Each structure stands twice: as C-alpha cells, then as structure tokens.
Structure 1
C-alpha cells in the first residue's frame, strides 16, 4: 500500500543509527520506507517518469513491504546505502550494471525537488574533501592546526622538521585489507626520517599535533548542536572505545554559531564535527564527517539526537 508523505531512509541492512531514527519516526506515526540500493531487483524496484505535466517527476519506489510515491516523499535520510557491485558478473558487465543503478535509481531520487535531504549525496560528496574543509574552517574563524597536503617528499620532510610533533592522516577513509585482514588508517606520528620517495605516489596529509586535553564530537542537526567531550588520553580516540569517557560540552557561543553556519555553507543540514580542546581551553578544528556516526553518543549521554533527526525529517520539505 502506498504510504502518505513517507520519509525515505536509504541505508544498508545493519545500521543501528538509522534504526534509532526510524524508531523515533514510528513513535510519531510518520510513515517510513527503508531501502538499500543493494536490493535492486526483486527486493527493490524504481519506476520514474519524466516529461509529464504538471509534475516533472512521477513514479514509485517499491521494496518488498512498502511503496513510496515519489511525488509525495517529504524527506530523504541518506545514511549509509550499500550500492551493488554485481561481483557475480564479468568485470565490464558488473561495471556497466553498477553505473546503471547509481545513475538510474540515484538519478531518479536526485531529480526530486520537494523532499528535505539529510543530506543530499551530491552535497555529501562535495563536502568530504579535507583540504577544502580546512580552508573553509579557517575562513570562518576557527583555529586550524598547520597542515600540509603534498606528494613531494622534500616538502614533507621540511614541514615535519619545522614542527615539534606531526601526524600523518589519510585524506579519505577507504575499505582496506592486507592479507585478508581489514585495516583502518589512524592518525599516526611521523618523523622526517620515515619519509621516503614512496610519498610521491599520492598526496599525503601531514598535520601538527594539537596539545589536547580532550576531543569533541559535535553533531549538528538542522539548527541544533549536540557537543560531547571525549576523554581518553589516546592520540586517536577511535582506536579503543572501551577507554573513552563522555561528558556533555557547552560550546562557546562563537564556536557554536560557526558550527551551525558551516553545514549551510556546504548545502548540508547535518554533520558530525571533530574538534580538539587544548590545555588553554581553545578549540581546534580537525574535520567534518558529513554523514558521521553518533548513535553510541546518544546512548552514553542521553542527548536527544535521534529525536532531533526525527523532528527534521518529520518537518520535511515542500511536499
């Protein structure tokens, strides 16, 4: 049965953060159609028509249990959809089929101008470049640690030698395995002696270490901010969640205002920010994840993050 002004939730099958938001929407009796592009075929069907009058896009998205009228979608929560890779096909056939899903299913959803997107995937992609994030943060008045992006070994050695402590950070997280074992790139100390000609292969990000006493994860949802101080003593707190303690942080008005304005500059309505707090109590920009995790922070602090997302999605766009 077609749902009345549904919220589309695009995500993979195992997503506890999306589950929290869907639970909140269900409490409000807001219809939800959850879909994953990986289910394309028997589990997911899209039919979109263009050139009709008076509506530019009409059609439906159907899952095994729900149907959404594309013209009536109030909001799209674009969480962590899993795109099919068609690995059972020959390489060229798989590449072709995967492109048709992205540009067919994705393109049909992107064509909608009524829903509120949280966040639009094209905006997410544009916001996900760390060098651009750093420059925008400085333009907006936030403190940014001296940082170098380069594939020149001499530039890298000079930069590392000019600062007391420097970290290497991946420019972009990607799935990675060595000998079948999944690996994650952490922020790691680097010395000038460790830099060799292999740096030439690809740009690397080198950043001076902030003499921090804590980290902050700040979630922005619409016009609301939720800031959590994370204490661990770790260089990269993501390495060991069991070592973390949490406290709700009250941001200075100036910092809060900048973090609210930052997503708007990028066409986003939500984002997860990582900051560091130094011994003087100053806040340092580290990065933005346009689609970052936050569910465990609600569980640890009781902050009503999922309710804030549900509020935003319920309000939706001009459907």
Structure 2
C-alpha cells in the first residue's frame, strides 16, 4: 500500500521479483479506478486485480489515505460541475479499502494502520521517548503569547518551532523546523491564539543522525548538516535538498536499546528516527517518521535497508505458511 510516486517501493518490488515472490501494489491515488478490488462475502474472499488476497502473508504499508481519482476524471467532474459525485466516489472508496485492514488483520503489517494513525503525533513520540530514557529539548505547546515570550527569554532567545504531526505533501517545505526570531514574536502576538503551537529550545548539534529501524535491525547514518554553508540547513537538513554529507555510523548499545524500546512502546516495526548528537556527546530524540524515506540514505551510505525490509516481509510470509 503506497503512492504511485514512491521510488522506495520500486526497489522493494525489484528485490521481491529477484527472489521469485509475487506481490500486489495499491497506489492510493488510483484506488477509485485502477486497482480492481472485489469482495465476496459468500466465500469470504477479497481479491485485487484478480489475485486472491487470502494468499497474502505480509503487508507493507508505505503510505495510506491519499485517495483520489485520476486527473482526467477530476478535470471532467469539475468541468461538468460534478464535484459532489466525485467526492462521493473518493469517500466511499476510502471506506471500502479500509476493509482491507479488517480482512488482513491476522497478517503481518509493516506498519499496522492503527498504530501509524496513533503514533504519528510528535507529542506522543516525545513523551514516550522521554519515558524510555531519551533526552528531549525543552518543549512547550501553547496558544499564549505571554507563555511564548517567557519561554523565549528562559532559553536566551534560542528556540525553534515545528509541526506536531503529518501534514500534506504540498505544505511540507513550508513546515520545516524554523528558528523563532524577533519578527516571529511580533506576528505571534496576534496569530498564536488561533493555533496551539509547539516550541522547543534549540539544541546545538555536532551531528544529526537518521536511524532507520526495520524490526529489530537499526541502520544509522550521520547527517553532517552543521558543516553546510547554508545557515538554514543547521536548523533542518531538509533545506539542503539532500546536498549534505552523509555516512554510516554505529551507535552505542545503550542508544540502540532506547531506540528499540521506543519502537516497541509506539508499536511500530518500521520508522525513521531523527536524533541529535551534541558537542558533549549527548543524544537527543527529535521524532520518528513511520513513513520515513530511506532510498537516499542507501545511495549515500550503502546501508542495506531495502534488503532488510524484504527479508522481514519474506520471513513473516513464510512463518504464516508453516
């Protein structure tokens, strides 16, 4: 289950095919017109493009919920002023595909939909990370201008803001981690009451670390954002558009243990965890993305993340059939 634009999934499919395994891909943008779902309640069979899903042993849920019609259908619907039928088709299709979660509930999922929905929230993630022993930046969520200015002063004017959960892809570049400057405070005096907002102390970094977790395997890489020429990259490496030095690193056992304990507490079998290593060699937790990208990490480091995902899916599929 994925998006049609996911190159990472193409790598998984190529790996599966090289091993002789069958697969079915659901692109949620095309669920309303191209996937050929069939549900027979007399025989309790669910099929997709003619393939009986009773034979499925493992499900990889890369992305979910961006349902839609194709562009031509959407354009025709708007031209004919048929947005209501279009919206109905998308809405009902979403519910029908949600049945797959029920029908395949006894299979292995990487990750389960319910767990993904519950634990994409960064506030829950921070609370759980703190519980398992990670340090987290000083953090508040507030709609109060006075609370914000007090927090700003307490942290010597060195704070950032960021979103607390999943956002539309079209808005992602607008929602990277941002340093709070004086002009931001001026805007916040009128705008902050309209939306509770997360603020954190800025933690000075030696490196950023991306740890991609597949089951009980951890693939970690240093992202050397602090050596980049662009100041924005020092606050969020994504501003560099991947133009940042990246290389593999083996984390201390105690840090890896915290990572696995966190994933267990969040009920996630896959996730991309962002950490900070300070100049005092302290590890701070930032967030875990259950949909985190990993292809670019493989290209730069040679870490075999795709292969481990396939190994996990194949293992769970074979375990069910024995």
- Pairwise same-fold verdict (TM > 0.5): yes
1:93 CA displacement: 3.2
Equivalent position of 2:51 in the other structure: 68
User: Size of the alignment, in residue pairs?
Assistant: 299
| Structure 2 CA distance for partners of 1:249 and 1:59, relative to 1, 3 Å | same
Task: Indicate which of 201, 207, 223 corresponds to 2:216.
Answer: 223
CA contact (8 A) 1:232 1:243 kept: no
1:23 CA displacement: 1.4
- Offset from partner CA, 1:205-234 (integer Å, 9 cap, x none): 101011111100000001100000000222
| Structure 2 CA distance for partners of 1:266 and 1:295, relative to 1, 3 Å | same
TM-score (structure 2 length as normaliser):
0.86
| Aligned positions of 1:44-123 closer than 5 A | 44-50=35-41, 57-62=44-49, 67-81=50-64, 82-84=66-68, 87=74, 88=77, 90-123=82-115
Structure number with higher helix proportion: 2
Structure number with higher strand proportion: 1
Equivalent residue of 1:216, what SS? strand
- Offset from partner CA, 1:284-308 (integer Å, 9 cap, x none): 0000101100110001100110000
- Offset from partner CA, 1:233-254 (integer Å, 9 cap, x none): 2221000135411121111111
Equivalent position of 1:253 in the other structure: 253
* Structure 1 vs Structure 2 CA RMSD: 2.1
CA contact (8 A) 1:219 1:270 kept: yes
2:168 is the alignment partner of 1:185: no
2:114 is the alignment partner of 1:130: no
Task: Indicate which of 118, 132, 139 corresponds to 2:131.
Answer: 139
Structure 2: segments with no counterpart, 5+ residues: 227-233
Question: Within 2, Cα distance between the matches of 1:286 and 1:147?
Answer: 11
Structure 1: segments with no counterpart, 5+ residues: 1-9
Equivalent residue of 1:160, what SS? helix
Equivalent position of 1:6 in the other structure: none
Equivalent position of 2:231 in the other structure: none
| Aligned positions of 1:1-319 closer than 5 A | 10-50=1-41, 57-62=44-49, 67-81=50-64, 82-84=66-68, 87=74, 88=77, 90-164=82-156, 165-175=158-168, 183-191=173-181, 193-194=185-186, 195-233=188-226, 234-241=234-241, 243-317=243-317, 318-319=320-321
Question: Within 2, Cα distance between the matches of 1:316 and 1:100?
Answer: 31
| Structure 2 CA distance for partners of 1:42 and 1:207, relative to 1, 3 Å | closer
Question: Within 1, Cα distance between the matches of 2:296 and 2:309?
Answer: 15
